[in-house]
Amino acid sequence: MGQAVKARVKINEEFKSNKSETSPQKIEELMKIGCDVELLLRTCVVQGIHTDHNTLKLVPRKDLLIENV
């Protein structure tokens, strides 16, 4: 199982385990954690695709491609 799939499974498990939460403070805390994780995944994770036995093609998102100033 790839890392992206593992991350998706973990996110879904966390969502399901907290779906009955009613405390506004706890919900706000969980939403903050979710936003932090989303930011981390969007800014620090690059997709890689195996193109053959010894080659990995990196596929950065356009928002990750910024000029080095």
pLDDT at residue 29, rounded to an integer: 95
Higher pLDDT, 11 or 42: 11
Q: Which helix (H) or strand (E) holds 43?
A: helix 24-44
Are the C-beta atoms of residues 58 and 47 closer than 8 Å to each other? yes
Domain coverage including residue 32: 3-64
Task: Let me know: does 58 contact 48? Beta carbons within 8 Å.
Answer: yes
Residue 28 within any structural domain of the chain: yes
User: Can you tell me the distance from the alpha carbon of 51 to that of 6, in angstroms, rounded to the nearest whole number?
Assistant: 22
Residue 19 lies in a domain: yes
pLDDT at 17 over 90: yes
User: What pLDDT shows up at residue 25?
Assistant: 97
Which of 61, 34, 35 has the alpha carbon at shortest distance from 46? 61
Name the pTM for this structure. Answer: 0.62
User: Mean per-residue pLDDT for 21-45?
Assistant: 89
Number of domains, the chain: 1
With residue 48 as reference, give the H or E element that holds it. strand 47-52
